[in-house]
Amino acid sequence: MSKSLCGIINSETRKDSKDLARHAKNYVKSYLSERDNDIISQTILQENPLRTVMDVVFENAASRRLTILEIAETSVPFSTKISEIAQNLGVLNVNYLIAHSTPDILENRT
């Protein structure tokens, strides 16, 4: 790409051009086309980042027992996903705790 999106915005804003939308649209189209050809970007887009982090944690755990504390603010905590990952990796004993400001909404979901 010849110019960054910020560069386009800065140059078009200074010119007070009405072509800003066209330039930005062309930039995004070009970026998406180039991104699709980038193997690293495609791998990251298709990878589950939580799985990658949990792989590192489980691989570096000193024992087959692990205590996890999740501090959640949403009604859908990560506990189900993390439990699935732990089961697939063969972690034998996971003690999972969830801290939440309104735990009543969790009782029906977990």
Residue 110 counted as domain residue: no
Q: How confident is the model at residue 2 (pLDDT cuts 50, 70, 90)?
A: low
Gap between the Cα atoms of 26 and 93, Å rounded: 52
- Are 29 and 55 contained in the same domain? no
- 83, 97 contact by CB (below 8 A): no
- Residue 1: per-residue pLDDT: 46
Q: Which domain holds residue 32?
A: 5-36
- Residue 105: per-residue pLDDT: 73
Number of domains into which the chain is organized: 2
The structure tokens 């193997």 sit at 39
Q: Which of 109, 38, 50 is closest to 76 using CA atoms?
A: 109
| 74-100: average pLDDT | 81
Gap between the Cα atoms of 70 and 79, Å rounded: 8
pLDDT > 70: what percent of the chain?
A: 67
The yes-or-no verdict on residue 110 having pLDDT over 50 is: no
Distances in whole angstroms, Cα of residue 11 to Cα of each of 5, 21, 24:
10, 13, 12
